[in-house]
């Protein structure tokens, strides 16, 4: 089996693949990561390889050492040991997060191109693949939890709140106002940006949603075509098979 790992700023998402099928997947919060939290999932598993896609270098090194100690396999780091097989038109490719390019590649391979990926996590990113299968670039804005955190930390009276579905477009107390503003605002922003991107890629360009908070956005977005929460992990597996 292949061990695929996506290290994000908030969560470490892991999956065991047998061919194209996910046999098991799980998340570990970055702040709670320990060797033991990984050990219980992979101890005794017969792994053919391990691939890591990461935007948190300090966790990458620790995870690599732990995997080698548990299973005797040295993981490959995507972007360092293995290139992502998609034409990349980003001007400064060293600045591009590997997860964004993996998502673009996965969406292109699974759903065809052109395609737009809307990833809603710590940040909200839109990534675009052209009709010729080239990665064009994208957009970045603050994620839902980050937006709420900024409001709480940078204002005197606005509280920190937990994410949940807004009760309606017009909030009737401060908490509901924040939820409506942050979640509906993000969904509206994504839809507006998608409309502008489609002027370049074609009006029927599909939008694939992914990321930890995508379900909060999907029901309020008119342009997200499909949600694929395991898109990055599937991309890692596709890269391994390639």
Q: What does the pLDDT average to over 68-91?
A: 95
Q: pTM of the predicted model, to two decimals?
A: 0.94
Residue 43, pLDDT score: 87
The encoded tokens of residue 62 equal 């620790």
Q: What does the pLDDT average to over 144-149?
A: 96
Confidence band for 75, pLDDT divided at 50, 70 and 90: very high
Confidence band for 85, pLDDT divided at 50, 70 and 90: very high
CA-to-CA separations, 190 to 96, 142, 145, 178, in angstroms, rounded: 20, 12, 16, 18
| pLDDT tens per residue across span 93-133 | 989 999 999 999 999 999 999 999 999 999 999 999 999 99
From 156, 153, 178, select the one nearest 167 (Cα to Cα): 178
From 86, 59, 83, select the one nearest 5 (Cα to Cα): 59
The region that residue 72 occupies, defined by phi over 0 for left and psi between -120 and 50 for alpha, beta otherwise, is left
Which residue in 6, 27, 81, 99 is the catalytic one? 99
**Domain extents in the chain:** 2-81, 95-229
| pLDDT tens per residue across span 184-218 | 999 999 999 999 999 999 999 999 999 999 999 99
| Cβ contacts of 154 within 8 Å, gap of 6 or more | none
Q: Do domains 2-81 and 95-229 have the same CATH topology?
A: yes
The encoded tokens of residue 239 equal 């890269």
- CB-side exposure of 148: number of CA atoms within 13 Å? 20
Q: What are 208's strand-pairing partners?
A: 117, 226
Confidence band for 44, pLDDT divided at 50, 70 and 90: confident
- Averaged confidence pLDDT in the chain: 95
Q: What are 53's strand-pairing partners?
A: 6
- The b/e string for 113-138 (b: 16+ C-beta within 10 A; e otherwise) is bbbbbbbbbbbbbbbbbbeebbbbeb
Confidence band for 141, pLDDT divided at 50, 70 and 90: very high
Ranges of H-type helices in 5-160: 35-42, 57-71, 98-111, 144-154
How many other β-carbons are positioned within 10 Å of the β-carbon of residue 84? 22
The CATH class for the domain spanning 2-81 reads alpha beta
How many other β-carbons are positioned within 10 Å of the β-carbon of residue 25? 15
99 in catalytic set? yes
Domain boundaries 95-229, corresponding CATH code: 3.30.420.40
Separation CA 40–CA 96 (nearest Å): 32
Residue 123, pLDDT score: 96
């Amino acid at each position: 089996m292949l061990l695929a790992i996506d290290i994000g700023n908030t969560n470490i998402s892991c999956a065991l693949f047998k061919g194209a099928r996910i046999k098991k997947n799980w998340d570990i919060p970055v702040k709670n990561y320990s060797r033991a939290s990984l050990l219980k999932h992979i101890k005794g598993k017969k792994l053919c390889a391990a691939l890591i896609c990461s935007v948190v270098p300090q966790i990458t090194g620790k995870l690599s050492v732990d995997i080698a100690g548990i299973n005797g396999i040295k993981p490959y780091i995507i972007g360092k040991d293995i290139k992502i097989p998609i034409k990349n038109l980003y001007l400064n490719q060293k600045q591009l997060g590997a997860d964004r390019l993996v998502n673009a590649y996965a969406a292109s391979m699974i759903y065809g191109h052109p395609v737009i990926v809307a990833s809603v996590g710590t940040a909200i990113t839109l990534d675009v693949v052209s009709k010729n299968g080239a990665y064009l670039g994208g957009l970045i804005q603050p994620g839902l939890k980050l937006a709420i955190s900024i409001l709480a930390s940078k204002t005197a009276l606005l509280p920190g709140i937990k994410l949940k579905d807004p009760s309606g477009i017009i909030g009737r107390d401060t908490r509901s106002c924040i939820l409506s503003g942050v979640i509906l605002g993000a969904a509206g922003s994504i839809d507006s940006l998608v409309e502008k991107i489609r002027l370049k890629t074609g009006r029927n360009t599909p939008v694939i949603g992914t990321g930890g908070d995508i379900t909060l956005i999907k029901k309020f977005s008119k342009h997200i075509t499909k949600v694929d929460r395991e898109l990055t992990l599937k991309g890692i597996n596709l890269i391994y098979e390639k």
